[in-house]
A and B are shown apart, each in its own frame.
Chain A
Amino acid sequence: MSFLKLSQVNFRYPKQEKLTLDNINLEIDQEQVTAVIGPNGSGKTTLSKVIIGVLPATGGQILLQGSKVEEYSLAQIGRRIGYVFQNPDLQLFCGTVAEEIGFGLINQGYEADRVKERVDFYLEYFHLAEYRQAFPLHLSQGEKQRVAIASVLATEPEFMILDEPTVGLDAYRKKILAAYLQKIARSGRGMILISHDMIFVNRLADRIIQMEKGCIVGDSDGKGDNDHDT
């Protein structure tokens, strides 16, 4: 059974004539890194938001672990799929960076010692230790992006969706992120990776889905020197 199965999924934003997603049929394995690429405005972000139920599909069916996605609450989906938004400003809300990274863990009922241990690890790994007590929204864009990613990774979700995770990251931090994502992918926790950064995609993706004008126009193996037109 696929982790996610989309059948004839359509989506139209209110007051729009055109479909933003047009007849999407897609099965996603939990263990794979599936990259979604395509030109600006092709529907990549909308697809990811429809998958996690933030935007309800206009038509078609989405199955998450065999059950209809609308039968889950957003919290239930959130426990299965960790989502990193394209814009970290939409995701950060705590008073300090340490609280931000620990928030999900505390809400999942982890003991204080375990929370501290994990927060310390992610602060160190993503070079954020000096900002432990900083207000997240006072950080640079690249630092905010790392905090948002660390907050999602800390809860160790079974599956993740990362929407343009390399925007704002320098080359050094991109390599560090790629190494960590490779590590968790090897442990069987897959992800959907939305990106224009083909160097990053080629480092990580087992499979590449190409979108154009709301449709899937390509589905190929990754981990190569792909030169798709994104």
Chain B
Amino acid sequence: MDAVIVKDLSYQYWPEGPQVLKNISFQAARGEMLVITGLSGCGKSTLCYCLSGIAGHRRDAVMQGQVLVNGKDVRGLRAASLALEAGMVFQDPDTQLFSPSVEDEIAFGPENLCLPPDEIRARVDQVLDLLDISSLIKANPYHLSGGEKHLVALAAVLALDPPVLILDEVMSRLDRHGVMRVTEVLQTLRNAGKTIIAVEHRLETVTFADRLMVMEKGALLRWGTTKNILADQEFLAAQHLLD
């Protein structure tokens, strides 16, 4: 069974509002990485909110169609249950960080799963090491640079070990070392069976992804293997997606 199934998904933030997503359908298998791209405002982040279940719980919103994560309809799950199915890293890490130290931030999720202290400690150390940010352990997340904040937000999500990861431009603020580190980590996680759905503008950073989706004005314009779409330079240029 596919880890993520989206069927005829349409979305409006309020009943008379514009249709931000229009009849989108796709699937993502276990151990697959899928990248979403498209011009600013085409609905990429809204699609992420729908996949993570946040959009479906928004009051006044009109969500049509279906989003299944690990076979469960995201609208039928409470936020705490959703976090175990799909972890999302937001485009703006400031909206996600709230603890007084990096260590506390990362431990927050595992603590709320009521894991034993040793297991919590192990998970915190593991993700700090994985993302090469152990030196930040005692720092206040609000004092970090934009790129460091994004790594901490990613670490906090990884510590929950969800089977599906939704990453909204997580590499946009990273330096070269950070980009290389995160791309290595994503490949490792994918090989370990995680499903990864990532929004990205800089396509050269995600050539390793299995499939690429191009969105335009709320609709799915094209999707296929990353190799095939990246090879179609004429199409990418026509969509203004090349640097």
Contact = CB atoms under 8 A, between A and B. Distances in A.
Q: Do A and B share a complex?
A: yes
B59 interface: no
B40 A143 contact: yes
Given A167-B173, A170-B38, A199 B243 contact: yes
A168 B13 CA distance: 21
Contacts of B193: none
Contacts of A45: 145-146
Contacts of B54: none
A117 interface: no
Given A138-B13, A173-B40, A199-B243, A168 B148 contact: no
B91 interface: yes
Interface string A137-156: 01111110110000000000
B176 A142 contact: no
A196 interface: yes
B192 interface: no
B8 interface: no
Contact of B40 (A38, A42, A87, A141): A141
A95 interface: no
B174 A196 contact: yes
A145 B148 CA distance: 20
A172 B240 contact: yes
Given A89-B92, A143-B40, A170-B201, A41 B147 contact: yes
Interface residues of A, number: 33
A2 interface: no
A16 B172 contact: no
Nearest to B178: A40
Kindly name the residue among A13, A145, A170, A174 whose own CB sees the greatest number of chain B CB atoms within 10 A: A170
A38 B146 CA distance: 13
B175 A164 contact: no
A138 B241 CA distance: 24
B169 interface: yes
B207 to A, nearest CB: 15
A12 B177 CA distance: 25
Interface string A85-110: 01101000000000000000000000
A170 B39 contact: yes
B41 interface: yes
A150 to B, nearest CB: 13
Given A170-B39, A171-B240, A172-B39, A141 B143 contact: no
B201 A169 contact: yes
B178 A169 contact: no
Contacts of B221: none
B40 A171 contact: no
Contacts of B146: 40, 45, 86-87, 164, 167
A142 B41 CA distance: 7
B40 A196 contact: no
A58 interface: no
Interface in B30-58: 38-41, 44-45
A38 B242 CA distance: 24
Contacts of B185: none
B145 to A, nearest CB: 5
24 contacts: A39-B175, A40-B145, A40-B146, A40-B174, A45-B146, A87-B94, A89-B92, A89-B94, A140-B40, A141-B40, A141-B45, A142-B41, A143-B40, A164-B146, A167-B173, A169-B40, A170-B39, A171-B201, A171-B242, A172-B39, A172-B240, A173-B40, A174-B243, A229-B177
Given A87-B146, A170-B40, A170-B241, 6 more contacts: A40-B148, A41-B144, A140-B40, A141-B40, A196-B174, A229-B177
Interface of A: 13, 16, 38-42, 44-45, 86-87, 89, 138-143, 145-146, 164, 167-174, 196, 199, 229-230
Closest 5 CB pairs of A and B: A142-B40, A40-B147, A172-B240, A39-B175, A140-B41
